[in-house]
A and B are shown apart, each in its own frame.
Chain A
């Protein structure tokens, strides 16, 4: 158990208000587009209208004649500096600016630099590009057809197949299927969607020719990793690069990759010697930057006649677009997709994934999840429902029968993961009770008699977060530890810097609460700084719900180092031996004589004024924390929907979310995270898709077509929690930011399918729009 501090100290478990909100609510945030430097000029991208075409010529003459235009960079220009291509984060390369041909609509073709952004945009219109159209490949299932056009001429392998990856025991799984009394299959598509952070991507590249120092203000979730990559790719000495990620307006994985616009702005600044700003438009963000998912999955479950699951077999086709720009740090091509056995006790499992190229934007990224775990959770939670329906069993009872039990932890899955801790039934029971499950089932039965459509959907997901242990995770070889540095000032206040980077998660509050918990310095006396690579210790950034499991742990470990030193100083001040001292939040006291004590503030002052001989001055510590394992948060979500037969409209009547993320740092922030993630999950389930027509034209490239949920669509969220601490994390926390996005899509879909199950509906692919539902109702003869 965590000892609770006073509210004044504001340690773990206190719902203190977010420190960062004061500036955000006053409009005083500082985002990349707020950066204005003297002499700054602006870049604008010329993009391809074609999904697949040969580049015949680029004529920049007219554009160059426009007053105010300073430079126009093409792929051929970059090729001279060996920069026309850059490596992706997953063993592929991608074009910075196109040479030879273009491979997706909105691909970067030329970069125009001008004195102001309007001139840059006008000049981009004047760049004349001649294309020769080529056959377009949109359907991933046709990528390996013999007559499919070969997209990547740069590769030695003349094929659109990127990788085949398999894990698990194929033979044992096969045997289980042969002997199984019951088998169920579901084919489910986790559609191509996009994180669509409200702040689009952008940068200001500022090269100072005198100091040879390059400062890049960047929308980056991983500033240190980006600094290293800029150095390796661009050949600029790393000490001369400073990446600053100021306030970030949402990332959700979209700001993990390095994009061509960043590279072009850097090249332009190096060439012109002035700061160059490049900020994407909304459509550019949706059409060209990291999309998520696009997994076409089939799951089969084998079970015995009593409904006890035996084996899971998964086959998946992954559409990566034109380049495999997967932004993920695992060693596996499909990331954490093999957590697809979920919360259930399978004896055997086999999972295989094939990746292919198509003429679509490159990716994908992990949209508010550890890489591919949303796909995995969605698939298993759908498959479990399909099997339960086939056996005519209640989906809650069916889950109860098959859950991994609390005494099985640490639990090794048949696909090789070790879950740290869990109590799945506990979380489900709480959710069932909160929602009033039995009564709802009765109500559903009565409504069906009257011809009304009501559904109840359950999702009992297992998340895997906190990338991650160095043996499985790295970015370009850099291990996935993360860091914290704490400096306690003479007056007992502190500043801490981390290798992570908040994009809205509330780090300035939660890290301060960890320091408060560990050292007793009030959270209000602790300043948190992230995102400046010249000042923060090296780290791998924020995504995959990794900040609390890694930098949060590092913060606790660094604080404990400080406490160890503080103990030496306290012993010196109290003239006793260290063994005679005991710690109580915020002070050391002599055992048996509580009045003889020194507060952390007194000790801090002494660290600079009256420290014992042989001890260094100051009170600082740094820790680089390499987690021994991932953490595995979990929960049960229950969604209740009513469907309007006339319009096909789905109304979410209730949504209960019970999360277990171990020990909680700030319950208010956790609740906020869950509300946000559920809203995104709702949008993915019902509203969003980046679609393409047969010519490769993007059909979700604006907010007219790619819908963002507003207060109108968003239901009331009811949250609850259970607490099963992580046994290996320094303070038992697990991470929570992504659980609602990972766990909720299945709950929404299961609910709609449940509402229509008596009509013979077994599965509906996302996004489940009213149009889709209405067509099903028509097909089933419910409406004419």
Chain B
């Protein structure tokens, strides 16, 4: 099941600070609910894991994150993540493009375009559930991103190291996804 998600949000920090944060997969991963970078393979490749729980179904993806393109000039990054569920219940891949734009206010606008491809039991739930789950996860991500960005350099790093990856709350995601299904204005 393929899904395209485009999101734009703003942060108060200046472009260069945001860029140094965004171009470090370890820092970005720490903002993704349930995600964790476990190992750096080379300059552009990392190993990681993410746990997604929808209703009764827990999927623990383990895989690789790769920086496909890093354009410091235009402040664009393209990341490819691929993972398989450790219990063999499916796989997922995501190609994400992030682009930054400086705002007049001194802050930064972040535009991300993601192509998500899910295979397995999770994909059977169809786009109506997956896109809602993605929306909720993205909302969490933005919150974490803004909070961590606002922290002083060292603290954010320490937090990224210390915070254990926890699966995002099962019931809250499922319930919010269910609500999303009926929330036709979204």
Contact = CB atoms under 8 A, between A and B. Distances in A.
Contacts of A693: 1-2, 123
B14 interface: no
B124 A133 contact: no
B126 A49 contact: no
Given A693-B1, A699-B126, A702-B124, A133 B119 contact: yes
B147 interface: no
Contacts of B84: 131
A701 B124 contact: yes
Interface stretch (A120-128, A345-353, A449-457): A120-128
Contacts of A283: 124
Nearest to A129: B88
A695 interface: yes
Contacts of B117: 695
Contact of B87 (A105, A127, A699): A127
A131 B121 CA distance: 15
- A interface secondary structure, majority: loop
B167 interface: no
B177 to A, nearest CB: 12
Interface string B8-37: 000000000000000000000000000000
B126 A705 contact: yes
A49 B86 contact: no
Contacts of A147: none
B124 A699 contact: yes
Contacts of B1: 693, 695, 697
A128 B119 contact: no
A156 interface: no
Nearest to A125: B87
A513 B118 CA distance: 56
B118 to A, nearest CB: 8
A139 to B, nearest CB: 15
A128 B62 CA distance: 13
A715 B119 CA distance: 39
A49 B2 contact: no
Contacts of B118: 697
A128 B2 contact: no
A697 B119 contact: yes
Interface string A668-706: 000000000000000000000000011111110110010
B183 to A, nearest CB: 17
Interface in B78-133: 84-91, 117-121, 123-124, 126
A460 to B, nearest CB: 38
Contacts of B2: 693-695
Contact of B120 (A50, A699, A702): A50
A130 interface: yes
Given A693-B1, A697-B1, A128 B88 contact: yes
Contacts of B88: 49, 127-131
Contacts of A694: 2
Contacts of A49: 85, 88-91, 119-121
A247 B18 CA distance: 67
A646 to B, nearest CB: 15
B128 to A, nearest CB: 9
Contacts of B87: 125-129
A128 B117 CA distance: 22
Nearest to A109: B88
A702 B126 CA distance: 11
Nearest to A55: B88
Contact of B123 (A127, A129, A695): A695
A283 B125 CA distance: 12
A257 to B, nearest CB: 23
Nearest to B119: A695
B124 A50 contact: no
Nearest to B1: A693
Nearest to A702: B124
A215 B93 CA distance: 48
Interface string A148-177: 000000000000000000000000000000
Given A693-B1, A695-B1, A695-B117, A50 B90 contact: yes
Most buried by B among A49, A128, A130, A695: A49
Contacts of B123: 693, 695, 697
Contacts of B90: 49-50
Nearest to B121: A49
Interface string A108-147: 0000000000000000011111110100000000000000
A93 to B, nearest CB: 25
Nearest to A691: B126
B133 to A, nearest CB: 15
Contacts of A125: 87
A66 to B, nearest CB: 14
Contacts of B86: 128
Interface in B15-66: none
B90 to A, nearest CB: 4
B124 A697 contact: yes
A102 to B, nearest CB: 10
A696 B119 CA distance: 8
Contact of B119 (A50, A129, A699): A50
8 contacts: A49-B91, A128-B86, A128-B87, A130-B88, A695-B2, A696-B119, A697-B120, A699-B124
Report the 5 A-B pairs with minimum CB-CB distance, sorted nearest first: A49-B120, A129-B88, A49-B90, A697-B123, A49-B89
Interface of A: 49-51, 105, 125-131, 133, 283, 693-699, 701-702, 705
Interface of B: 1-2, 84-91, 117-121, 123-124, 126
Given A694-B2, A696-B119, A699-B124, 11 more contacts: A50-B91, A50-B119, A51-B119, A125-B87, A126-B87, A693-B1, A693-B2, A693-B123, A695-B1, A695-B117, A695-B123
